[in-house]
Amino acid sequence: MSQLKQIEEKWQAKWEAARIFEADPDPKRKKMLVTFPYPYMNGPLHVGHTFTATRVDVYARFKRMQGYNVLWPWAWHWTGQPLLGASERVAKGDEAYIRVLREIDGVPEEELKRFVDPLYMAQYYTNEGRLAAKRMGFSIDWRREFTTVMPTYQKFIEWQYMRLKEKGYVTKGTHPVVWCPKDKSPTGDHDRQVGEGVTPEEYILIKYKLDGVTFLPAATFRPETIYGVTNMWINPDADYVEALVDGERWIISREAAEKLREQERSVEVKRVFKGRELVGMRFENPLTKEKFPILPGWFVDPKQATGVVYSVPAHAPYDWLALKDLQENPGALREFNVDVEVVKQIKPISIITVEGFGENPLLRLLRRWA
């Protein structure tokens, strides 16, 4: 054992024997509470925990030296989807994940078998984490250790929410969230195996008429571009549905129909079909009442928004390049019986003028880059 390690253990033992970090009520001294975000117990503590907790520890010790009665409790996060998800992966035999537990976390085989129980998994990592925190020498009052599944803690959380609701800080209603369709619940950053940092996106749907009773809702971040529409893009190989959405007849991708259901829309699917059925049809711009063709766009992702994309080639690079490709290589249109001359006559419709670039700044930039 190194000399430094011996010194550490000597003083840690003395601190524990003297119980110097145990904070009991003392009306003669100012009180101070310090806290640390509860670590999730779906894995061991890591250097990030050490970095943050060390700063808390420095502050706690400094305030004690100033005469404050400092309480630093410690807790373990046993609730939420990260733990359930981790345990589920073990139960399903996810070899890649199990290998990480075995080779990186060093979990013994006999323990791994019991990780199918999320509470057992949490208890295992809590025991490991407690040893690590004690070896670090953090000035914690271990009498106040708790987990988020303890009934007393859960009643405390209920009390907090009730007080916040009484003061008007918590209200019941709808709010955009990242939603898990499998578990039917919102998922925060730490709840996801992938997609950390992803936030909800708000689209505006513009409903273009296909016929007297049917709409093609296209999603956009820029509704003012409706004045520059020249055509619609539909992925000919993707699955689309004809559905009653809140009583209106819509044509959208099959994935979009599922998303709308998750947003509490009434969705009744009447039929499923390939997008190629729509290619060559014409739709109506709801503002200008002009009619434009629906063209094949294999780049359209049916999982993105509604799977229906209106084209503004004067200001959207992908739209201009896709249109130019069809005009220069019309062979792809023949299988859809689309009039090639109609497509060749499509011209970008500008909706802005930029000083130094004129009415078609995008086209000038694309030609410069080409």
**Residue among 111, 44, 113, 121 at smallest CA distance from 83:** 121
Over the stretch 143-159, which tens digit does the pLDDT of each residue have?
A: 999 999 999 999 999 99
How far is 218 from 308, CA to CA, in rounded Å?
A: 5
* Predicted confidence (pLDDT) at residue 201 exceeds the cutoff of 80: yes
Is-same-fold flag (3-166; 204-369)? no
Percent of the chain with pLDDT over 90: 73
**Strands lying side by side in the sheet with 204-209:** 267-274, 239-245, 248-253, 214-220, 204-209, 282-284, 291-296, 231-234, 308-311
Residue 312: pLDDT band by 50, 70, 90 thresholds? Answer: very high
Tell me the backbone φ, ψ of residue 209, rounded to 5 degrees: -80, 130
In angstroms, the Cα distances linking 278 to 120, 169, 228, 234 are 54, 49, 21, 7
| Per-domain boundaries in the chain | 3-166, 204-369
* Predicted confidence (pLDDT) at residue 113 exceeds the cutoff of 50: yes
The confidence score (pLDDT) of residue 367 equals: 63
The confidence score (pLDDT) of residue 1 equals: 65
The confidence score (pLDDT) of residue 370 equals: 47
Over the stretch 175-190, which tens digit does the pLDDT of each residue have?
A: 888 888 887 888 877 7
**pTM recorded for the entire structure:** 0.71
The confidence score (pLDDT) of residue 45 equals: 94
Residue 368: pLDDT band by 50, 70, 90 thresholds? Answer: low
How far is 356 from 28, CA to CA, in rounded Å?
A: 74
Q: Which three-class secondary structure state does DSSP give residue 131?
A: helix
The confidence score (pLDDT) of residue 214 equals: 96
The confidence score (pLDDT) of residue 365 equals: 66
Higher pLDDT, 367 or 144: 144
Q: Does domain 3-166 have CATH number 3.20.20.10?
A: no
CB atoms within 10 A of CB 130: 16
CATH number of 204-369: 3.90.740.10
As a whole number, the mean pLDDT across the chain is 91
How is residue 183 written in tokens? 């578990």
How far is 315 from 318, CA to CA, in rounded Å?
A: 9
Q: What is the mean pLDDT of residues 183-198?
A: 78
